[in-house]
């Protein structure tokens, strides 16, 4: 990446975070024969200044490498899914989630990795949306599951297992209320058998999945 004002060149590589800072002009040059993925996050200057004033952003260099942990990869997947499924009224929640992702990306600067409890809990929450086992999630933070469980419960008030179940059923509720079929929702939150999903959903939420549906559109599937 080339800063057109100073002539400074910052090389990009896999897992680079490249930030175009307000008031500066850059050019990007990418030469590669291999395919790659790019994710773009854009925030307003006032939001940028607020986060910077709280020292939540790394402004030492416009480009730095990330320690791209599994929870960050899952976070991108969750955020894209939110953008596809949320209504206009829910966009402020997406913006808030995007800002949290940006802060966590900066915390995972590979030359200055933050290991504080807030980062661990935030990362664990997003990994719990995925299919990794509880032991695998704990291992990604270089700790035993028992240690993660204690930290998580002290911070959140419930165990990681309970949080995962809670998150799945609240996501299922959201999908059901916009018309997705019970079978499709069950598969999306990790249940191969819709009957088992329906039984556990009713036990946890107090109502059957069909009672949450505004419109019975059984043919609608999650893409």
Q: What is the pLDDT of residues 84-124, one digit of tens each?
A: 888 887 888 888 888 888 888 887 775 544 456 777 888 88
Instruction: Say if residue 51 is exposed, middle or buried (CB neighbours under 10 Å; 0-12, 13-18, 19+).
Output: middle
- DSSP 8-state assignment for residue 2: E
Q: Out of 20-29, 114-123, 129-138, 157-166, give the one with best mean pLDDT.
A: 157-166
Predicted confidence band of residue 23 (pLDDT cuts 50, 70, 90) = confident
Q: Which residue has the higher pLDDT, 215 or 18?
A: 18
Query: Which domains occur in the chain, in start order?
Result: 2-157 (no CATH), 161-212 (1.10.10.60)
Distance between CA atoms of residues 181 and 174, nearest Å: 12
- Residue matched to tokens 């204690």: 150
What is the SS3 assignment for 33? coil
46-68 pLDDT, tens digit each: 888 888 888 788 776 788 788 77
pLDDT, tens digit (0-9, with 9 covering 90-100), for 148-192: 999 999 999 999 999 998 888 988 888 888 888 899 898 888 888
CB 214 within 8 A of CB 178: yes
Q: List phi, psi (to 5°) of 35.
A: -70, 155
Q: Are 41 and 101 in contact (CB under 8 A)?
A: yes
Tell whether the model's pLDDT for residue 222 goes beyond 60. Answer: no
CB neighbours of residue 149 within 10 Å = 17
């Amino acid at each position: 990446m080339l800063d057109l004002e100073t002539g400074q060149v910052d090389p990009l590589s896999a897992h680079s975070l490249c930030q175009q800072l307000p008031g500066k002009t850059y050019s990007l040059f990418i030469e590669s024969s291999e395919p790659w993925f790019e994710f773009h996050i854009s925030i307003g200057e006032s939001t940028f200044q607020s986060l910077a004033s709280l020292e939540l952003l790394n402004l030492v260099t416009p480009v730095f490498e990330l320690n791209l942990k599994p929870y960050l990869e899952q976070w991108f997947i969750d955020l894209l899914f939110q953008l596809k499924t949320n209504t206009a009224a829910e966009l402020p929640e997406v913006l808030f989630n995007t800002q949290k992702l940006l802060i966590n990306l900066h915390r995972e600067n590979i030359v200055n990795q933050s290991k504080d409890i807030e980062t661990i809990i935030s990362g664990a929450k997003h990994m719990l949306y995925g299919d990794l086992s509880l032991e695998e999630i704990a291992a990604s933070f270089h700790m035993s599951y028992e240690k993660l469980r204690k930290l998580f419960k002290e911070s959140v008030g419930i165990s990681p297992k309970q949080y995962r179940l809670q998150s799945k059923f609240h996501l299922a509720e959201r999908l059901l209320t916009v018309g997705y079929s019970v079978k499709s929702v069950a598969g999306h939150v990790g249940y191969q058998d819709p009957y088992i999903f329906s039984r556990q959903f009713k036990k946890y939420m107090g109502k059957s999945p069909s009672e949450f549906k505004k419109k019975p559109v059984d043919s609608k599937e999650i893409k």
